[in-house]
Structure 1
């Protein structure tokens, strides 16, 4: 796969960001407090909304997206350090973070189970977990469409799985799910929860 997806990501997402995602991101990310970890920060769409964070360590394995994120990095009121790292192998000590944020990233993490285990390792007990993801839907026709489209979509869009059940993975990880909000007929959700105390 070439580099077209990270180069064009912001352009492709702009209509959704302006119409709805910006408000969802803002409301979710402002809940992050203390020392924050962001998983898969991409082009830095969340950076301007960290109004209650003491600091943010953001990981992003894609060099093109990291480079593009510096525009949004400059708009943040919180100090942000961007790391080249994967979610499955976080370069941080145990019990480091008070909040963890991930938005539209668990669809493309190669091993989400391992990533969730790493989040719990580096987060403090009872840390806030704040996710915004697109997920598998429990509608037979839509499920079938997403299942059929996913193999091609993954190749085109940097490993994105249209049919990944991220909510189930989070529940099975041991993270306590406190609330779930659904958007666009349940295709997109926000999850707020806490790591095990």
Structure 2
């Protein structure tokens, strides 16, 4: 990756952020309370919006993106870690809230990441996501499929056609609220980590 990519990323996203995403980010992150985990913090776009968090632990596997995030202005205590989402360096039941914005498209093993999120967050923790997803429109969805291999190479592994909602539905998280915008290209999802009930149900099935 070029050392200019984080800067180019912020510049390319700026018009979209101003039109729609900044408002959505603020509304979503306003629900993040207590000790918060951010998955894939990138260049730190979300950092100024953590007004209700006590502390934020932010993971980002790309060192260039992480370095740029340190230049953001914010008031909440934020610690960054140079790690991926598939193996989180935190104890079980650590976090009250988890935030991820425009990140699941790039995670190599998203199912493992969801399992790790559930492990390190408390029972009843809020999981707050903003993602771009594969469109339901057959023609446009197929265009995303065709474009994805090239797009991944250009944009740090981003999958244009990843169906993140389906991944969540197949996980042990419960979707409480979903909103879509930009004709379904972007979604916000608020989930609940209800692992206490699912763990009990799993234990009953064990011999």
User: Which band: TM-score by shorter chain?
Assistant: over 0.9
Are 1:5 and 1:156, in contact at CA under 8 Å, matched by a contact in 2? no
Query: TM (normalized to structure 2)?
Result: 0.92
Partner of 2:186: 188
Residue of 126, 139, 142 corresponding to 1:128: 126
Q: SS of the residue aligned with 2:139? A: helix
Match of 2:171 among 167, 170, 173: 173
Q: Are residues 1:52 and 2:33 paired?
A: no
Q: TM-score, normalised by structure 1?
A: 0.96
Corresponding residue for residue 20 of structure 1: 20
- How do residues 1-197 of structure 1 correspond to structure 2 at under 5 angstroms? 1-72=1-72, 75-196=73-194, 197=196
Higher alpha-carbon Rg = 2
Separation of aligned partners in 1, 2:134 and 2:4: 25
Distance 1:23 1:70 in 2: 22
Tell me the CA shift for residue 24 of structure 1.
0.5
Q: Structure 1: where are the runs of 5+ without partners?
A: none
| Alpha-carbon displacement from aligned partner over 1:36-82 (angstroms, at most 9, x marks no partner) | 0000000000000000001000001111111110122xx22210001
Q: Cα offset for 1:3?
A: 4.3
Q: What RMSD, in angstroms, separates the aligned Cα atoms of the two structures?
A: 1.0
Cα deviations by residue, 1:111-145 (Å, 9 ceiling, x for unpaired): 00000000001000110000000001111111110
Give the unaligned 5+ runs of structure 2: 197-207
